[in-house]
A and B are shown apart, each in its own frame.
Chain A
Amino acid sequence: MANKAPLRRAALSAGSLIAFVAVWQLVCALFRVDPWILPSPYRIARAIADDFPRLMNQLGFTLRLALEGVGLGVVFGVAAALLFHLIPGVRAALTPLIIVTQNVPLIALGPLLIVWFGFGLMPKLILLVLVCFFPVAWSMLAGLGQAESQLREYLAMIGASRREVLRRLELPASLPAFFTGLKLTAAYSVSAVIVAEWLGGSDGIGHYLVLKEKGFDTPGVFAAIVCIVALALAFYGAAAGLERLAIRWKPRRTEAKGGDGA
């Protein structure tokens, strides 16, 4: 019984996706839509198949850059969360500054970073870290502060040191929040990489996208989009998988989730 609900959910998601693609194909065929306006799913699939080696090659560049960005972002995010949590003044001092960095549009910041740091890897990584560190830092900071007060009181009563409280209570208690942040970062990071690649450079799926767009190769543009979406989904899935590996103590809440549909 417990396994039926998730299975049904998966079937529904897959079904609606398949139906969407089918309607799309049908619309293209019935109204004879020009491929350069809206290519049919079949055309897109063929565009992917025709240019497969190059797409995969470009995707590889994007994947590497995204992994580097997420990795650095997570490192900075966790470091910032710990710094803000452990030293109270820092939070008040730096919060406005960080909010500012999150509100400068990427398309404005990108060219500036290129002016300052050249066309190399550096401006792209800075852009990525700026995007990736924030969700991790903010979620984890909230998680660190929300450790259960009963457990906090217990550790105080037995005389545990500040370090022990951090290690045995606050860090493990902040893991669920950390993974919430990581999933957000994983989802954002891919589109941030695309922006970074679109800004400059000669590799990556973002660059491929620009080329196809300039050549009015709409099926090629869609082929790139499919790759980007697939990569983003894979990133999110990997983050969710890591979460499931790391947080095994939580009682499975299949019933609660299954109740949504009822």
Chain B
Amino acid sequence: MKIIISNSSPDPIYEQIAIQIKNQIISGELKEGEALPSIRKLAQQLQISVITTKRAYEELEKEGFIDTVGGKGCFVAMQNKELLLEKKKKIVEDKLSDAVIEAKLLGISLDELQEMLLLLYKED
């Protein structure tokens, strides 16, 4: 499992951790049922506070990505294939939603927005 924390990122540390773990679960790097390091182990390895890692895991559990088995630790939750797809879609949907809100605020029309999307998608 790879976790990189940026001090200069506007995202709080717990969020950075949660997102990275989430992505690794979605991409399959972290397999279903795989054991995650304990909250305290992760905190010690990353040199951050225990409450931070606790919060990251809590977020992941809330979104159904991990399960906490009492006394045994945290494991990657069994991902329903369709649900997983849903989750992946949701991530992109959230970002698009942000873009739409921003566009409306700035007075950018739907056509302009679609043009932008096309250009961007073709870029890579």
The answer to whether A and B belong to the same complex is: no
Q: Which residues of A contact B (CB under 8 A)?
A: none
Q: Which residues of B contact A (CB under 8 A)?
A: none
